[in-house]
Structure 1
Amino acid sequence: MTQAPVTSSRAHEPAPETPDLSEGWDEQRGRLRKELRRFDVLLFLICTLVGLDTIGSVAAQGPQGLTWMAILALFFFLPYGLLVAELGSAFPVQGGPYVWTRLAFGRLTAGLNQILYWISNPVWVGGSLCIIALTTWEEFFTPLPGLWKYAAGLVFIWGGALAVVQSVRVGKWVPIAGAIARIVLLGFFLVSVVVFALQNGVHALPASEFTPTYAGFVALVPVLIFNYVGFELPSSAAEEMRNPRRDIPLAILRSGLASLLLYGGPILGILFVLPSERIGSLGGFIDACKAVFTVYGGSIAADGTVTLTGAGAVLGGIAAAGLIIGLLTSGVTWAMGAHRAQAVACADGAGPAWLGTISEKHGTPVRVNLLSAVLASILLVVALNLTEGDGEKYFAAGLGLTICTTFISYVITFPSLLVLRRKYPDTPRPYAVPGGRAGAWTVTVLATCLVAFTVVVLIWPGFGVGWFGTEGSAADSLPEAFAGQRLAYTLSQVVPLLVIAAIGLVFYAMGAKTRRTKS
């Protein structure tokens, strides 16, 4: 069953199957605008899935990164896509993941879960995205000494915030531009790799290096699965789509195939161009771009130092700008989804009602957007001070925390599929996971267990390495910037998680008045 496309510019009435939330959200619903078409959703997902901040992290693990990428595509990416396609098409309600968990497990669980999901965005924007953008600027343009680094970081954060608050009619062009920037940048990089290979040859990749190991899996599973997530984000704006029941499953299928190609090619290119010992998790993609662009003008010294000149410098600058735009649009696109879900949660009584307000002018949750930008700014300033400007340490801690908060929320969200099949068996499902009950259990168990395991290895890197005869040392799994500092790294993950949980409880307490009104 599919719904006919809605031609009205505003979403005045919920669909007949829309679950009842609160009177507070019903009041806000009429301010939404149905502006997202199928093609918009597709590019939205490409911008969401193809993150440029983790390509170097995967390449840093060598050729086995591609092997594990293929394995996880089968055992995580596919089940996860099938799971979200059913939930998104069966319950096409604004707030997506929050509403699914709310219907399955109640408002308290859903509210705490949503805090983790939402707050991962300011952590990500003020953390790994910002530091890669700053590093790229310094590599290709000019150094950012002292306060200039803070100023540039704040411009990056608030530039994204300005884009997020715009109406969906305007704001949707950000993920569209981001998707196009990714396709152009990564496509040009691959063409340049071919030209570089013809002129200079490439590094041999022995077949033995593609052999998967457990130590490699533990190191790679967080960033690989993080590369694969984001399918649920358009569902957070479901009531701003023309036809979510039809468009969500189709967009998931097409964007999933596109993301595999857009990830695999550049990672292979980096491995061909750079010696394994020179691939860093932060600068791997940046260094590879500089190296291949020497074919247009420039040179590589014996110690590996790259100097770009002439056309090489010009094209390098253009590519650097494209990379920064790609990073910015990643944060914006995730924010567009996560912030909408948080606004629904607050309007529903799982948070302060004032954060659940949708702007009449823009049709977006402006207050949540601005609060997120403030949190990202605070994180940027605090983290740069705590790490004394150490970009690698800041990047490792920020990316780890981003993945950890997001994946803990998934541990709750994914089982919603099984619960909602039982609680709402008669809800129309335009798309359903194939295989009946067994199929639903299979995709849920695979997706949930893999994200749960990822949380464990993020908090305790190297978990299981050296056990039962496996090779390697658990200490080697720590991020390079935290070598020999396991306690410091673990605290960089656990302490913020405890703070976020406390924020969730405070938010829920602040939603008491809304819940009383509802009852």
Structure 2
Amino acid sequence: MTQAPPVPTPPPAPDAPDLSEGWGEQRSRLRKDLRRLDVLFFLICTLVGLDTIGSVAAQGPQGITWMAILALVFFLPYGLLVAELGSAFPVQGGPYVWTRLAFGRLVAGVNQLLYWISNPVWVGGSLCIIALTTWEEFFTPLPGFWKYAAGLIFIWGGALAVVQSVRIGKWVPIAGAVARIVLLGFFLVSVVIFALEHGVHTLPAGEFVPTYAGFVALVPVLIFNYVGFELPSSAAEEMKNPRRDIPLSILRSGLAAVLLYGGPILGILFVLPGKEIGSLGGFIDACKAVFTVYGGSIAADGTVTLTGLGSVFGAVAAAGLIIGLLTSGVTWAMGAHRAQAVACADGAGPAWLGHISEKHGTPVRVNILSAVLASILFVVALNLTDGNGEKYFAAGLGLTICTTFISYVVIFPSLVVLRRKYPNQPRPYAVPGGRLGTWIVAALATGLVAFTVVVLIWPGFGVGWFGTDGNAADSLPASFAGQRAEYTLSQVLPLLLFVGIGLLFYASGRKARAAQRARGESDREDVLTGE
């Protein structure tokens, strides 16, 4: 009896783009040290931003309403979108790889530059100014030289954390997540105690009614606090099981983010009179006010003085807030810098920036360059605004969000394109609803970030049109009142500069691309080869 011929073993499922020979060498230096719980803490630290709580509270109770609406029409679709992309293409570089496979290297390279450079803009901008403001409110003033020194310590302290190996560096987002949970939880407990002793400000039901003017003012900061799901995918090849851990972590962190973000906003509204809530100091001022229940007083003019245990708790909370801000920047940097290194190793940027440290397993050169850029931005912006913290904060935060969201306008549609181009790619999780569901999810996420870019560049877009209430000029940040041209230039000129840098980065990678073409690799589709 003749033996039946053996059944041929099917080729391995394609799961890793072979981006280039250069990245293949760098990939061998990565270390798989991220577990599911690490990814969850990573996402909580990313999603729960402490720098924009005051900005939302400053818009009054309708901020809560819009937060709930956007949770359904943006946060949920966005989470579904990233869960599919992250589990179907679990490759180091995440967003860069998705757009590379969908739209080619030129588009992906310039887009990745925008995604990456928003991090030093954020760290050297709004994060730094809130950290300094918190220090001055709770500890001691920082006159002249000391403000610059403190800002640079904040920036380079974060850079030191980012360069560490993932085994060490993952403790930064863990510490940041714990600091958020403890700080925001203690704040809410203190609000309850404050309410029992002093009562709270009533919030009329009519103030929760959403308006278009409120939407235009709130959509940038609310959506900004709802983004970051894709960041762990930038370190996918450092995870133990990215196909399983990414979707589960997105679900859990999304629920935690809504609770941790919404509670403090309500607390601020209950404690502070609406007219006294500022975008920069709203959360800081609310903390000081509620901590008077442990020791201190509030004068008739609203001045808060903390004493005894109130002063101690205030100092601890201030330290926790500064740690939370620092870890936000570090956690985003851990993802964005890795994606930029992959892009550079792939020929979409200077090859030397694609180097992964053999000692740390991290893109040290990209990390250092980011810290340098953040330092330059911090010093220049502080001088251009003459030390005006509110003005510096508004311009820096607007530019950070705008730059990030322009990159999302390209990243999100890649879901639809990759479904079409690679229909047989294993998808442990897929957006429900088939092709229609995919289009709806991508359209909602892309449309909202695109609209946000418009209202960031031109605050008040559509306000007062077609007989609607409101004045577009009122949508300008308070620190730029009557200065629309100055504000718009603060956004447009840097954006044009960043796009130019992206094109220069791409041009600098021509040798790597030529080498790949000589090996017969496609500039668009050297894509999925099982490793």
Report the TM range for the smaller structure's normalisation: over 0.9
Q: 1:506 aligns to what?
A: 504
**1:69: Cα distance to partner?**
0.2
Contact 2:45–2:331, Cα closer than 8 Å, also in 1:
yes
Q: 1:11 aligns to what?
A: none
Q: 2:85 aligns to what?
A: 87
Q: CA RMSD, aligned part only?
A: 0.7
Q: 2:520 aligns to what?
A: none
Code of the aligned partner of 1:94: Q
**How many angstroms apart in 1 are the aligned matches of 2:127 and 2:469?**
33
Code of the aligned partner of 1:125: V
Q: 1:462 aligns to what?
A: 460
**1:306: Cα distance to partner?**
0.2
Code of the aligned partner of 2:249: A
Q: 1:331 aligns to what?
A: 329
Contact 2:13–2:426, Cα closer than 8 Å, also in 1:
no
Local SS of the residue matching 2:419: helix
**How many angstroms apart in 2 are the aligned matches of 1:298 and 1:25?**
58
Q: 1:399 aligns to what?
A: 397
Give the length in aligned residue pairs. 506
Deviations 1:62-108 (A, max 9, x none): 00000000000000000000000000000000000000000000000
**How many angstroms apart in 2 are the aligned matches of 1:227 and 1:471?**
27
**How many angstroms apart in 2 are the aligned matches of 1:175 and 1:517?**
38
Local SS of the residue matching 2:297: strand
Contact 2:14–2:425, Cα closer than 8 Å, also in 1:
no
1:121 equivalent to 2:154? Answer no
Alignment of 1:303-342 (within 5 A): 303-342=301-340
Code of the aligned partner of 1:152: A
**How many angstroms apart in 2 are the aligned matches of 1:370 and 1:479?**
32
| TM-score, length of structure 2 as denominator length | 0.95
**How many angstroms apart in 2 are the aligned matches of 1:22 and 1:107?**
12
Alignment of 1:108-507 (within 5 A): 108-507=106-505
Local SS of the residue matching 1:307: strand
Give the one of 93, 96, 99 matched to 1:98.
Answer: 96
Structure 2: stretches of 5+ with no match in the other structure: 1-11, 518-531
**1:243: Cα distance to partner?**
0.1
Code of the aligned partner of 1:210: F
Code of the aligned partner of 2:62: Q
Local SS of the residue matching 2:160: helix
Q: 2:50 aligns to what?
A: 52
Q: 2:525 aligns to what?
A: none
Code of the aligned partner of 1:183: I
**How many angstroms apart in 2 are the aligned matches of 1:210 and 1:24?**
55
Deviations 1:452-496 (A, max 9, x none): 000000000000000011100000000000000000000000000
Code of the aligned partner of 2:172: V
Code of the aligned partner of 1:402: T
Local SS of the residue matching 2:305: strand
**1:16: Cα distance to partner?**
4.3
Q: Which has the larger radius of gyration?
A: 2
**1:185: Cα distance to partner?**
0.1
Code of the aligned partner of 2:183: L
Local SS of the residue matching 1:425: coil
**1:20: Cα distance to partner?**
2.1
**1:15: Cα distance to partner?**
8.2
Q: 2:527 aligns to what?
A: none
Local SS of the residue matching 1:31: coil
**How many angstroms apart in 2 are the aligned matches of 1:458 and 1:510?**
31
| TM-score, length of structure 1 as denominator length | 0.97
1:61 equivalent to 2:59? Answer yes
**How many angstroms apart in 1 are the aligned matches of 2:145 and 2:64?**
39
